[in-house]
């Protein structure tokens, strides 16, 4: 084994912990007493990886700008490299004579393989830290040592562990080490022609400072009544912290401790959502093919339809179903969609249109700023009925009833489907039932200014129930 100089640097390999606060990998790298080389790798070459979609890349660009500025203030430069992660790390270790690599533990299947290969090929010792989750991905198991397949007992096991560790402070300064770096602009992560990101810029402020500001707002105004307000898409009643968590501008531990002193049902529900995120990560850890294959094997025989026109109408928010179209347009415009509406649009695609859940999963992956492989896969399988702790196959969200219940005054639909804005509340969620006089007064011409429904809701539901029931009989 070669002798490593006591002044040899350590590489801080940043993946999904783009922050200074509560970053165990950063703290451990500094504690080594060696100069630290912060590194981010844009890896589009490792086989099997799900490369970030366009909206995620937009967020990543701005988050890296923010992190780079913070690191420079602390005395280090963020080094950017492109290529297969194993090769980049192997070359960089030899280039700078690195002694160690510190990184956050990965849960994605390809990333776990990369971590193993780094150990065997780089020549540097790899230290993995829990940076993206409350618990180790394999740390919550049943009494018999198995993996949980149902959320409620999983969440109870998590809560029995007690509060996670207190968040770590951000280092004020440390000794960095420089190396040649790519220019972020050369990566072309931002859309150019066309520039479709205007809505993202208007909605979000990526970076650790923006994340901290949003968390402060959530603690002050959202958490206490979260159990009620989170269901109404026309209100600012959700945390909107998911993209911050995905890229690690905030840790889940920071969020947990920020809301710890709030006594309300809202806080209980809010913490439960953090645990759903943990549950999804746990599922992906134990089922690496979660993004591609149904957890319940009988669903592999599902008689899915192929309907390119129907899929395109859903993607564009032109299905003729107002709540569905509002959600899909919010997604395209802002890179995000309200969680209640996510369930509705997913149910519509899978059950009313009888299209494969993987089609919806892929579209969300490309268009969400919070596209997270574990959560995205688990949620789509939950709606499809093929996943762990899944919704029963006969649960079909009726988008009209959901609209009446959770968007009763139509604030959400009117914002994102403005061509229907002048309809009365009673007709807004189901304009096909409005009278000719109501439609004319609102300037709505079905099939011209707004599409007619691409599927009859009752017929689509019946078709789905027949298909799902057939699977149960075969099983």
Three-state secondary structure call for residue 12: strand
Strand partners, 129: 104
Q: Is 265 helix (H, G, I), strand (E, B) or coil?
A: helix
Q: Which residues pair with 37 in a beta bridge?
A: 11
State residue 2's pLDDT score: 47
Question: What mean pLDDT is predicted for residues 356-362?
Answer: 97
50 is a catalytic site residue: no
User: Shortest CA distance to 60 belongs to which of 37, 87, 72, 42?
Assistant: 42
pLDDT for residue 121? 80
Place of tokens 């010792």: 125
Task: Specify whether 204 is catalytic.
Answer: no
Annotated active-site residue in 45, 110, 339, 404: 339
pLDDT score for 215: 97
- Which tokens hold the place of 444? 């709505």
**For residue 143, how many other CB atoms are within 10 A of its CB?**
7
**CA dist list (Å): 198 to 30, 189, 366, 384:** 39, 15, 17, 33
Q: Please, what CATH class does the domain formed by 133-165+207-286 belong to?
A: mainly alpha
3-class state of residue 230 by DSSP? coil
Gap between the Cα atoms of 18 and 449, Å rounded: 44
Single out the catalytic residue among 58, 276, 285, 416: 276
Band of pLDDT at residue 148, cut at 50, 70 and 90: very high
Question: Is 51 or 208 the better-scoring residue by pLDDT?
Answer: 208
* % of residues, the chain, pLDDT over 70: 97
Of 118, 103, 128, 112, which is closest to residue 18 (Cα–Cα)? 103
User: Does position 390 have pLDDT exceeding 70, yes or no?
Assistant: no
Rounded-to-integer distance, Cα 65 and Cα 475, Å? 52
300 contacts 162 by C-beta, under 8 angstroms: no
Tokens 């490309």 belong to: 366
Picking from 353, 360, 351, the residue whose alpha carbon sits closest to that of residue 394 is 351
Per-residue confidence (pLDDT) for residue 282, from 0 to 100? 96
133-165+207-286 and 297-474 share one fold: no
Residue 389: per-residue pLDDT: 74
266-322 pLDDT per residue, tens: 999 999 999 999 999 999 999 999 999 999 999 999 999 999 999 999 999 999 999
User: Mind giving me the DSSP string for 135-185?
Assistant: S-TT----TTS----SHHHHHHHHHHT-SPPPPPPPPS---B-------GG
Structure tokens at 424: 């009365």
Q: How far is CA 223 from CA 227, 250, 276, 315, in A?
A: 8, 17, 16, 32
CB atoms near residue 213 (< 10 Å) = 12
- Quote the mean pLDDT of the chain: 94
Mean pLDDT of the 229-237 span? 95
Nearest 10 degrees: Cα torsion 342, 347, 349, 353: -160
Active site residue 304: yes
Segment 173-198 mean pLDDT: 94
Planar angle of CA 439, 408, 402, nearest 5 degrees = 95
- Let me know if domain 297-474 sits in CATH 1.10.579.10: yes
Residue 365 a catalytic site member: no
The number of CA neighbours under 13 Å toward the Cβ of 167 is 19
Query: Does the pLDDT at position 475 exceed 60?
Result: no
Sequence-distant (≥ 6) Cβ neighbours of residue 144 within 8 angstroms:
none
List 187, 196, 304, 432, catalytic entry: 304
| Cα maximum dimension of the chain | 86
Find where tokens 């533990």 sit: 105
User: pLDDT tens digit string along 104-128?
Assistant: 999 999 999 998 898 888 788 999 9
**Cα-based angle 255, 258, 264 (whole degrees, multiple of 5):** 100
Instruction: Please provide the size of the chain in residues.
Output: 475
Of 256, 332, 357, 382, the catalytic one is 357
Per mean pLDDT, which of 110-119, 136-145, 363-372 is the most reliable?
363-372
Residues near 170 by beta carbon (within 8 Å), at least 6 away in sequence: 19, 20, 21, 23, 70, 74
With vertex at residue 269, the alpha carbon angle to CA 264 and CA 274, rounded to the nearest 5 degrees, is 125
Q: Is 336 one of the catalytic residues?
A: no
Section 198-222 average pLDDT: 97
Residue 250: both structure tokens together: 């905030």
Residue 380 falls in the annotated catalytic set: yes
Phi first, then psi, for residue 333 (nearest 5°) are: -75, -40
| Extents of the domains making up the chain | 10-132, 133-165+207-286, 297-474
d(CA 282, CA 278): 6
User: 418-461 pLDDT, tens per residue?
Assistant: 999 999 999 999 999 999 999 999 999 999 999 999 999 999 99
Q: Tell me the two tokens of residue 363.
A: 């579209």
Q: Which of 273, 404, 432, 438 is catalytic?
A: 273
The band of 366, judged by pLDDT with boundaries at 50, 70 and 90, is very high
> In the β-sheet with 125-129, what is the strand arrangement from edge to edge?
79-82, 36-42, 10-14, 100-104, 125-129
For residue 4, what pLDDT band results from cuts at 50, 70 and 90? Answer: low
Predicted confidence at residue 7, as pLDDT, reads 80
Q: Which fold would CATH assign to domain 10-132?
A: Rossmann fold (3.40.50)
Q: Quick check: 396 pLDDT over 80?
A: yes
**184-210 b/e (C-beta count within 10 Å ≥ 16 → b):** beebebbeeeeebbebbeeebebbbeb
């Amino acid at each position: 084994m070669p002798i490593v100089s006591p002044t040899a640097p350590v590489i801080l390999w940043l993946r999904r912990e783009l922050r200074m606060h509560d970053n165990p990998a950063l703290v451990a790298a500094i504690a080594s007493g060696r100069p630290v080389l912060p590194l981010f790798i844009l890896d589009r070459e490792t086989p099997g990886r799900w490369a970030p979609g366009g909206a995620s890349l937009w967020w990543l660009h701005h988050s890296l700008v923010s992190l780079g500025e913070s690191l420079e203030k602390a005395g280090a430069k963020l080094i950017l490299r492109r290529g297969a992660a194993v090769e980049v790390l192997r070359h960089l270790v030899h280039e700078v004579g690195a002694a160690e690599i510190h990184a956050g533990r990965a849960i994605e299947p390809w990333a776990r393989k990369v971590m193993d290969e780094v150990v065997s090929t780089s020549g540097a010792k790899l230290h993995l830290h829990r940076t993206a989750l409350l618990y180790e991905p394999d740390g919550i198991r049943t009494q018999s040592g198995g993996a949980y397949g149902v959320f409620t007992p999983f969440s109870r096991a998590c809560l029995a562990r007690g509060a996670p560790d207190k968040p770590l402070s951000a280092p004020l300064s440390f000794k960095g080490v420089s190396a040649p770096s790519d220019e972020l602009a050369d990566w072309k992560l931002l859309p150019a022609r066309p520039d479709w990101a205007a809505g993202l810029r208007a909605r979000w402020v990526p970076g650790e400072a923006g994340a901290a500001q949003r968390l402060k707002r959530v603690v002050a105004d959202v958490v206490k009544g979260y159990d009620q307000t989170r269901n109404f898409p026309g209100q600012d009643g959700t945390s909107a912290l998911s993209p911050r968590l995905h890229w690690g501008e905030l840790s889940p531990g920071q969020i947990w401790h920020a809301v710890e002193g709030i006594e309300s049902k809202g806080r209980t529900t809010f913490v439960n959502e953090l645990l759903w995120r943990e549950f999804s990560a746990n599922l992906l850890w134990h089922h690496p093919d979660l993004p591609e294959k149904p957890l319940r094997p009988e669903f592999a025989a599902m008689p899915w339809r192929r309907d390119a026109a129907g899929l395109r109408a859903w993607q564009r928010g032109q299905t003729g179903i107002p709540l569905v179209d509002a959600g899909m347009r919010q997604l395209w415009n802002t890179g995000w969609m309200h969680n209640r509406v996510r369930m509705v649009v997913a149910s519509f695609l899978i059950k009313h249109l009888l299209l494969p859940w993987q089609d919806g999963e892929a579209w969300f992956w490309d268009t969400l700023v919070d596209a997270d492989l574990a959560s995205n896969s688990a949620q789509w399988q939950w709606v499809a009925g093929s996943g762990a702790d899944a919704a029963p196959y006969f649960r079909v969200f009726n988008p009209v009833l959901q609209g009446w219940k959770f968007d009763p005054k139509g604030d959400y639909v009117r914002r994102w489907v403005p061509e229907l804005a002048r309809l009365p509340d009673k007709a807004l969620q189901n304009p096909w039932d409005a009278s000719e006089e109501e439609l004319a007064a609102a300037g709505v011409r079905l099939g011209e200014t707004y599409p007619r429904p691409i599927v009859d809701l009752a017929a689509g539901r019946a078709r789905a129930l027949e298909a799902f029931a057939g699977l149960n009989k075969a099983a």
